[in-house]
Chain A
Amino acid sequence: MKMRKALALGVVSALTLGTLGLTGCGAKDTGSSTSGGSGELTGALTVAGSDTMVNMAQAWAETFMTANPGVQISVKGGGSGTGIAALINGTIDIADASREMKPEELAQLSTATKTAVARDGIAVVVNAANSVEDISLGDLGKIYRGEITNWKDVGGADAPIVLVSRDSSSGTYEYFKEAVVGKDKEFAKSAKLLASTQAIVDEVKANPNAIGYIGVGYESSDIKVVKVDGVASSVATVLDGTYELSRDLYVYTAKAPEGLAKAYIDWIVSADGQAIVKDQGFVPLP
């Protein structure tokens, strides 16, 4: 009887230790890209990065996977900074970025290759009940640096401005900082650093005194888009450059794309991929 108990205890401990040991060795899959013989693509890709691009990246991945059933693509957000850091650390294949890599980042990964995949405008949004229609770029900078704090100074009601921003892992944040706040200046300390574009849309929708900035793909009828220097953001004004807050969206690979990554990126810049760009509300490449 005692022997059977000892045996049972031994089997249970062996199973527990064995399970723990197995969970320890997980295979680190950084994505393999192969191209089987007759033009049939197979393999897996991991894509991560820009939150601005994440819905579009998901749409690209789904359409590409439907057209190429042997391919597996996983898409994540996290912000351009997160994607680029993961690319440098070697944990993903393709990084979506709504900004260019910085010199310090390029120093860590000198072979990083950039491919422009779409154009984007940064829309400045306010609550639907806000009476302001147009803000100059200079005033926008002052608002976001905390130098203008009341809506009445830009033609609105007498109410304090609630600043809403993305956080520092966002390419949109970096671009806005360079283009509006000033490269060597900082955002106001009272700026709320929210984790995603959707969080900005939610806050601006609910707060009559909020102002935020989002990619044009996230414009919705619940919030009001303000003109910058008299120009409204649209596909036309972003393409011809009259809208000042226009930028390119990129994908980065650790080295010049090859194999499945190359096929995927070539597809993205082709007519099929660019049709999805238009669907998502962004601006296709000229």
Chain B
Amino acid sequence: MTENDHRQRRLGRIRVARATESAVRFGITASGWAAIAILTAIAVFLTYNAWQALASPQAGFLKMISGTEWYPLSNPPKFGFLPYVIATLRVTGVALAVAVPLGLAAAVFISEFANRRVKGIARSVVEFMAAVPSVVYGLLGVYVVGPFVKDIFRMPSALSALSAGLVLSLMALPTIIAISEDAMHAVPKDLRYGSLALGNTRWQTAYKVVVPAASSGVFASVMLGMGRAIGETMVVLMVAGNSMETTWSLATSARPLTSVIAGEMGEVVQGGLHYSALFVVGLTLFVITFLINLAADMVLERQRQRWRR
């Protein structure tokens, strides 16, 4: 092997490395842009199909968002979906009111107080809960949770916002637990040892030191859980009762926005006003979810700034 051969070989390796790097960088950049492109395409698709209803004199966004009557098949058709927006807020509210405290408590337990074996079992159970299909939760809601809630709270029907909200909380729970627990796990041990050394008990360390330190991750988990509850379709279609009343009551049935789309999309003819009105509902859902994620990002960014100091 001459000196020249060695140099040639080294140059060859460098050339291959550089070519691979360009190719991989291109691939990664393309994937990143593709994700943004797909999201934009979805937004455009929704707006394009919703446009007919938004621009129509019979519908129109302000009329739809303030109207309390959704009679798409009547003459003249009415497209007010305010009761459905309130229904989404009701079931999501119940879901979070139950899932957030329960989820945080479970995450604190798994992260701070459980021994290694219990921690392993609990983590697997939580992951399993997250993998159960939503229609199974729906069956659970119709045959177990609904009748139970009806008997305990003496409600007129098993199909109500409360029953649906409770089942949704079961679905949001694994998300909240898993991500909060990860966030707490990432808190450095030194913080815990310092707190214990200064005389705090383990519980005081947990709520005074660990949870505040993990607060950005906990907040992100709640946002993701909320997103899951807002977007859930099958459970609310089966359990929430689907009535059109504009009310904040939890004992009454509810028809969240997802249920409206799922229930009626099959029967509309493409290109009609009813079809377009359903796209307006879909666009509303998209915007709500987008705004929640945006708000979550802004809070997280502010948290990150604070910790950087």
Contact = CB atoms under 8 A, between A and B. Distances in A.
A231 interface: no
Contacts of B269: 85, 88-89, 105, 108
5 contacts: A2-B13, A81-B267, A160-B156, A192-B242, A195-B263
A139 interface: no
Given A160-B156, A192-B253, A207-B158, 10 more contacts: A3-B16, A79-B266, A82-B267, A167-B264, A169-B267, A190-B252, A193-B243, A193-B244, A194-B159, A202-B142
B241 interface: yes
A15 interface: no
B266 A82 contact: yes
Interface string B124-143: 00000000000000000010
Interface stretch (B40-48, B66-74, B299-307): B66-74
B204 interface: no
A193 B267 contact: no
A67 B270 CA distance: 37
Contacts of B69: 186, 189
B147 A193 contact: no
Contacts of B142: 199, 202
Contacts of A206: 147, 150, 158
B167 interface: no
A207 B242 contact: no
A168 B72 contact: yes
Interface of A: 2-3, 5-6, 13, 78-79, 81-82, 84-86, 88-89, 105, 108, 160, 162, 167-169, 174, 184, 186, 189-195, 199, 202-203, 206-207, 209-210
B268 interface: yes
B156 A186 contact: no
A168 B156 contact: no
Contacts of B74: 186
Interface of B: 13, 16-17, 19-20, 27, 69, 71-75, 83, 142, 147, 150, 156-159, 237-238, 241-246, 252-253, 255, 263-264, 266-270
B157 A162 contact: yes
A208 to B, nearest CB: 10
B20 A189 contact: no
A85 B157 contact: no
Identify the 6 closest CB pairs spanning chains A and B, nearest first.
A81-B267, A82-B266, A169-B267, A193-B242, A189-B244, A192-B241
Contacts of B83: 189
B147 A168 contact: no
A57 B142 CA distance: 26
Nearest to B240: A192
B90 to A, nearest CB: 15
B16 A6 contact: yes
A79 B266 CA distance: 8
A194 B253 CA distance: 11
A184 B73 CA distance: 11
A169 B23 CA distance: 52
Contact of A194 (B71, B75, B242, B245): B242
A192 B157 contact: yes
A6 B20 contact: yes
Contacts of B241: 192, 194
A79 B267 contact: yes
B270 A89 contact: yes
Nearest to A177: B73
Nearest to A84: B267
A206 B142 CA distance: 11
B72 A85 contact: no
A2 B20 contact: yes
A209 B75 CA distance: 32
Given A2-B17, A199-B238, A168 B157 contact: no
Given A2-B20, A186-B71, A195 B266 contact: no
A249 B16 CA distance: 71
A166 to B, nearest CB: 10
Contacts of B20: 2, 5-6
Contacts of B264: 167-169
